[in-house]
Amino acid sequence: MLGRVNMLSVSKSGSILGSYILDPMLATSPPPKSQADRSQPNLRLASTESFVDADVWVLGFQGGSGSTASSTTLMDFAAQDMVTVRLHSLGSGPCTINAHSAHGDVVFIIPRDFIGLVRTSSASDRTPVIPKRFSTLSEVHGEGVYFVGDWTSFGPDGWVGPTLHIKAPQGNITVKFWKAPDTNHVDINGSAFGLFLLLLMLPRPPAWIRWGLGTLCALEKGFEPTAADTAP
């Protein structure tokens, strides 16, 4: 069963393969010293000798006084080999995402309603694969900057919305939108799966909610739920 996470850091030599529901408003213990100087990402996945393959949903609910979320959600994905991230939802606040592969490719799938900047860094002889919907702002010596959205959203300090930084010095970079329809998309406004997420945010979710969420997660991933997935 998927549970909400925040300030989660996973680092190991082996491969990292998993699904994560990131709730930046989820209180953590102990909390960061302050919101201004917090440098720890809300989600960090790092493999020093293998690959990272992750499905990520970001919740965008407003928290109460006990919330430890900073103004910007931070996510870091790094691996020696390939990095693959499937971002199903991005929440509603500013977000900075870093994805880095030392020797492999980086593939990043983003929601179809993504609005923001994508910055890439790769070998000068490799051209990133970027959706045509993006406007190319610059491509110089392996450094690329791309934008999709409303140009009037830029303020005096530049762009403060979602930003994706991708580095693959020895590999290829691919950014793609989810194909419509995205069967794994978590629609928090109307879908049954989104309703389960809302109910999951209760301090003590009922047993039938935990059972139902486990079943839906298994089915949406394309396999039959096991007894462990659906245990009350």
DSSP collapsed to 3 states, 47-104:
ECCCCEEEEEEECCCCCCCCCCCCCCEEEEEEECCCEEEEEEEECCCCEEEEEEECCC
- Flag whether 74 is in a domain: yes
Question: How many domains does one find in the chain?
Answer: 1
Residue 66 is predicted with a pLDDT of: 40
- Flag whether 35 is in a domain: yes
Residue 179 is predicted with a pLDDT of: 87
- Flag whether 43 is in a domain: yes
Residue 115 is predicted with a pLDDT of: 93
- Flag whether 23 is in a domain: yes
Of 101, 9, 121, nearest to 49 by C-alpha is 101
Residue 153 is predicted with a pLDDT of: 75
Per the CB < 8 A criterion, the answer to whether 24 and 4 are in contact is: no
Host domain of residue 10 = 4-114+166-186
Residue 63 is predicted with a pLDDT of: 41
How far apart are alpha carbons 158 and 161 in whole angstroms? Answer: 9
Provide block-wise average pLDDT over 10 residues at a time, the chain (232 residues). 90 97 85 58 97 95 43 94 97 91 98 95 94 95 94 78 96 93 50 51 52 48 43 46
Residue 197 is predicted with a pLDDT of: 53
Residue 33 is predicted with a pLDDT of: 55
How far apart are alpha carbons 121 and 140 in whole angstroms? Answer: 10
- Flag whether 66 is in a domain: yes
